[in-house]
Amino acid sequence: MTDLTTVTAGRLLDGYRKGEFGPVEATRAALERAERIQPEVNAFVRILAEEALAQARDAQERWRRGEPRGALDGVPVTVKDIMLLKGHPTLRGSRSVDPGGRWEEDAPAVARLREAGAVFLGKTTTPEYGWKAVTDSPLTGVTRNPHDASRTAGGSSGGSAAAVALGAGPLSLGTDGGGSVRIPAAFCGIFALKPTYGRVPLYPASAFGTLAHVGPMTRDAADAALLLDVIGVPDSRDWSALGPAGGSFTEALGGGVRGLRVAYSPSLGGQVAVRPAVAAAVRRAVELLAGLGAYVEEADPDFSDPVDAFHTLWFAGAARVTRHLGPYQRESLDPGLREISARGARFSALEYLAAVDVRMDLGRRMGRFHESYDVLLTPTLPITAFEAGAEVPKGSGHRRWTGWTPFTYPFNLTQQPAATVPVGTDGDGLPVGLQIVAARHRDDLVLRAAHALYEAGVTSGGG
């Protein structure tokens, strides 16, 4: 018997097509897993069991008639509780959001999933308003790592990463403003893609502006391509959304990496101290790509750490998202969010525009870099998962989460596509991620390189 909690969305669809099993079986298995993991891992804000089973029964009947609604008909999915899901509150990890509001609209990516027949298992946890790179909030508490419950799942899409890693649905929608799909995916040992900005429409617009992307969190690159084909289409509610993609991301997976020009930057030119076990696992994956025919050269992109500019934009966004709150509501906020919101409210327009200048220069530099290289490879993170309930590792000396995520947030500033692939584990059995970055609009190259690594079995290796 196939354990339906361990297979990809692609395998589920193949099984539906062949009549080996149906959406009801897959949904029941995913719901049972969600209920089982919730007490220890805390991946869900709410589980929608009755609604999911009703959707699964409808999908099963469509498959029985040979008339599936869309490309994901009957596939169980989860949605980060930052994104609107019609009929259910979107609380954003905050006590300041009124759950009794009118929740009558789907976010664009959720609407595309609904049209494609996906089954919604539930909403996953997030830190308050998605402000940091670990997942704990005053509303829902701490989300824990599926490999070691004493460690963090990462964030801000930590609930989604834990759910996918533990078999509570093979697909999840996350958001990424500074690494928020890639960070938890790397800590939890799954795949995640931050697509080019605008490839997946976002509504309502993020308070963090054009730093924020919507991205697939999945078991592998093929599932992410399948999901991106569904959600990566225009929506009139997002004025900054891109036009239709030039072709199918799924069909582009099989091109391989022979002849691909690859830059490998192990530490961004010595700017980042990377733990030896992480560096070794990443290097083995890079060598594997070279063995598959890619032209690999050790080369660093030409930029210094843009953290000050990122902080200006990020903290200003935090001030904006909390601006409507009264004194009592502010006292109920995550203390870290309250602190950065206060700092963000003090920035002048000129300081904000100076940060935009840094961003534009960084984008220009990366544009030039990708004239020479198709993709850039780095560690996703310099460390593996640390203790749960803390914003930064104990004894690290870091003040904010950006201190330990130097490989991720630069590519939110530049709006480039970037993915994380699990490439092994450290000595404690904690996952290590490899980041793949390409020029804007070349999501296909990121997915193709990642798929080549999956095909070559990179995720089965230890570290």
Q: What is the CATH number of the domain that holds 136?
A: 3.90.1300.10
Position 407 in a domain = yes
Position 240 in a domain = yes
Q: What's at 209, amino acid-wise? A: G
- Nearest residue to 302 via CA among 262, 359, 362: 362
Residue with tokens 């924020």, as numbered in its chain = 212
Q: Which of the residues 160, 172, 180, 206 is marked catalytic?
A: 180
> Cβ distance 384 to 426 under 8 Å?
yes
Residue with tokens 């950006």, as numbered in its chain = 402
Strand 171-176 vs strand 76-80: parallel, antiparallel, or unpaired?
A: parallel
Distance CA 375, CA 411 (A): 13
Position 145 in a domain = yes
| pLDDT tens digit at each of 463 positions of the chain | 789 999 999 999 999 999 999 999 999 999 999 999 999 999 999 999 999 999 999 999 999 999 999 999 999 999 999 999 999 999 999 999 999 989 999 999 999 999 999 999 999 999 999 999 999 999 999 999 999 999 999 999 999 999 999 999 999 999 999 999 999 999 999 999 999 999 999 999 999 999 999 999 999 999 999 999 999 999 999 999 999 999 999 999 999 999 999 999 999 999 999 999 999 999 999 999 999 999 999 999 999 999 999 999 999 999 999 999 999 999 999 999 999 999 999 999 999 999 999 999 999 999 999 999 999 999 999 999 999 999 999 999 999 999 999 999 999 999 999 999 999 999 999 999 999 999 999 999 999 999 999 999 987 533 3
Position 170 in a domain = yes
Position 365 in a domain = yes
How many Cβ atoms are within 10 Å of 360's Cβ, its own excluded?
A: 12
Count of domains observed in the chain: 1
Q: Helix (H, G, I), strand (E, B), or coil: what is residue 257? A: coil
CA-CA-CA-CA torsion for 353, 358, 364, 369, nearest 10 degrees?
Answer: -160
Query: Residue 458: its pLDDT value, please?
Result: 86
Position 2 in a domain = no
How many Cβ atoms are within 10 Å of 205's Cβ, its own excluded?
A: 13
Q: Helix (H, G, I), strand (E, B), or coil: what is residue 256? A: coil
Distance CA 413, CA 361 (A): 10
Domain extent for 94: 9-460
Position 355 in a domain = yes
Q: Helix (H, G, I), strand (E, B), or coil: what is residue 114? A: helix
- pTM value is 0.98
Q: Which of the residues 94, 96, 137, 156 is marked catalytic?
A: 156
> Cβ distance 264 to 286 under 8 Å?
yes
> Cβ distance 257 to 452 under 8 Å?
yes
Percent of the chain that is helix, strand, coil (3-state, to 5)? 40, 15, 45
Position 1 in a domain = no
Query: Residue 1: its pLDDT value, please?
Result: 76
Distance CA 3, CA 18 (A): 17
Residue 80 designated active-site: yes
Phi, psi dihedral angles at 212 (to 5 degrees): -90, 125
Spatial CB neighbours of 18, under 8 Å, sequence gap ≥ 6: none
